Amino acid sequence: MHEIESQERAILVFVEEELGMQPYAREELVALTETAGAVVVGEFHQRRDRPHAAFFIGPGKTEELYAGVQDARADLVVVDSELSPAQARNLEEAVKCRVIDRTQLILDIFGQRAQTREGKLQVSLAQLTYLLPRLGNLYTKFERQQGGIGVRGGAGETKLETDRRKVRDTIRDLEGQLAEVRSVRQQQRAQRRRLPFPIAALVGYTSAGKSTLLNTLAGSDVYADPKLFATLDPTTRRVVLPDGWAILLTDTVGFIRNLPTELVAAFRATLEETIEADFLIHVVDASHPYREAQREAVMEVLYDLGAAKKPTITVFNKSDLVTDQYEMRQLAADTENSVYLSAKTAEGIPQLIDRVVHTMEGLLVNVSLNIPYDRSELVAQCYEYGRVSKADYREAGIFVEAKITHDLAGRVAQFEVTG
């Protein structure tokens, strides 16, 4: 009982232009709010063509919201859009309650989830970048406040953030530290590139089951949780395929509708794992009633990153939770290069492996090589990292016809036979 009483009590506010996305938006904001640690005690909805310039919601609805805050003893209002500094200030003054928007809520969750130095640096940079134009409002209205969702942690409750000059200095310092971390990550990518394994990136909406799928494929124990944004930092594992081939598989941060631009910018180095990958595995929660909207949100982020045209396997996950299996099969049939499966039960994993092998073969290049006997280890690599159709041991060397990875092809280019 004490735990519930210690939670912040939140009222959610929605302004909707149309009916279509309202249920989806509501469920998602409820989940985000609960993930952040608050309990939802009320909701307010308003249909408007555009948000009110001063209060985001209309003046009449603002009065209703004030009454609702008093009745529910709420100490937090969460708005399912990004508020301008003026809108946030005016709404706070009107409802006599702290107001945060969807971006602040997501930033707070990321702040709780960040575990590595890189993750913490990225979150701090995103928080400060978002808060910089809002510091005057934050300080004048809540200078005595000791934290809470949207303002807890290093970026929101110290005197430092009330001084714009000092905040800009902090942002520059964070950017410098992140540049060093990104340099290390680039070195790690370069080391992975020296391995003749294709690299695949798991992408998808938050809670689609990417980490669970990575664990199932790699036999690893990457942290997996049904909560939103359970993992922020990319994890790479080697997955050995039945025929001896292998790939490097990287789990990435989950996407979400209207992913805050501050996070996209701050997590650029992490999201670049998708750009560096040879192909993508897009994990979709097939049991979610708004899976198509989630797929579209993921594709929008991939497009912004310049990764939307990469070879992609679509995985309709959580098939064990779908009651209409005919619909499930039809969905996969209508989607190019896709499978349906349950990462939790491993049902359908063999079909995914087949798709991975097929996709990998499309990434290989045909070569004809004459390899000297003193470099015979390259023949073994052609077998291990490609498909050898012919190996003829001749007096002048070992003649090999094969389909191999681009990386290996570059390393054996000097032995290629032309004509």
Q: Which domains does the chain have, with CATH numbers?
A: 2-106 (3.40.50.11060), 109-176 (no CATH), 195-361 (3.40.50.300), 364-415 (no CATH)
Region 110-136 average pLDDT: 80
Buried b (16+ CB within 10 A) or exposed e, 355-384: bbeebbeeebeebebebeeeeeebbebbee
pLDDT band with cut points at 50, 70 and 90 for residue 330: very high
Strand partners, 181: none
Sheet order of strands, 9-16 included: 39-47, 9-16, 76-79, 98-101
Residue 360: predicted pLDDT: 86
pLDDT band with cut points at 50, 70 and 90 for residue 349: very high
Region 163-177 average pLDDT: 85
Residue 264 predicted with pLDDT over 50: yes
Residue 366: predicted pLDDT: 92
Backbone angles phi, psi at 367, to 5 degrees: -135, 150
Residue 364: predicted pLDDT: 86
Give the pLDDT confidence of 172-191 residue by residue, as tens digits.
998 888 888 777 777 776 66
pLDDT band with cut points at 50, 70 and 90 for residue 160: very low
Distance of CA 164 to the CA centre of its chain: 30
Residue 123: predicted pLDDT: 83
Give the pLDDT confidence of 195-241 residue by residue, as tens digits.
667 889 999 998 899 989 998 998 877 655 556 665 566 788 888 88
Residue 326: both structure tokens together: 């005919």
What phi-psi label fits residue 56: left (phi over 0), alpha (psi between -120 and 50 degrees) or beta? left
**DSSP secondary structure code for residue 244 in this structure:** S
Residue 281: both structure tokens together: 């595995």
Region 21-50 average pLDDT: 86
Range among 236-240, 244-248, 351-355 rated most confident: 351-355
Write out the E strands in 276-317.
279-285, 312-317
Please give the Cα distance from 419 to 325 (Å, whole number): 52
Residue 3 predicted with pLDDT over 60: no
pLDDT band with cut points at 50, 70 and 90 for residue 133: confident
How far from 302 is each of 16, 241, 268, 275, 308, CA to CA, in Å?
26, 27, 12, 9, 5
Residue 33: predicted pLDDT: 93
Residue 142: predicted pLDDT: 45
Q: Look at 331 and 227; give whichever has higher pLDDT.
A: 331
Here the contacts of 332-339 (C-beta below 8 Å, separation 24 or greater) are 337/311, 337/312, 337/313, 338/313, 338/314, 339/313, 339/314, 339/315
Residue 41: predicted pLDDT: 95
Residue 224: predicted pLDDT: 58
Residue 271 predicted with pLDDT over 80: no
Residue 362 predicted with pLDDT over 60: yes
What phi-psi label fits residue 37: left (phi over 0), alpha (psi between -120 and 50 degrees) or beta? left
Please give the Cα distance from 103 to 264 (Å, whole number): 12
Give the pLDDT confidence of 71-107 residue by residue, as tens digits.
999 999 999 988 988 899 899 999 999 999 998 898 8
Q: Look at 307 and 315; give whichever has higher pLDDT.
A: 315
Pairing of strands 312-317, 365-371: unpaired
Please give the Cα distance from 13 to 56 (Å, whole number): 10
Region 145-159 average pLDDT: 55
H or E stretch covering 178: helix 164-194
pLDDT band with cut points at 50, 70 and 90 for residue 254: confident
pLDDT band with cut points at 50, 70 and 90 for residue 20: low
Strand partners, 14: 45
Q: Look at 266 and 97; give whichever has higher pLDDT.
A: 97
Q: Look at 176 and 133; give whichever has higher pLDDT.
A: 176
Please give the Cα distance from 185 to 180 (Å, whole number): 9
pLDDT band with cut points at 50, 70 and 90 for residue 2: very low
Give the pLDDT confidence of 279-297 residue by residue, as tens digits.
999 999 999 988 998 999 8
How many helices (H) does the chain have, and how many strands (E)? 16, 13
- Tokens 């097939």 identify what position? 286
Q: Tell me which of 6-10, 79-83, 383-387 is least confident.
A: 383-387
Q: Round the average pLDDT of the chain to a whole number and report it.
A: 83
Residue 233: predicted pLDDT: 65
Q: Tell me which of 62-76, 231-245, 330-344 is least confident.
A: 231-245
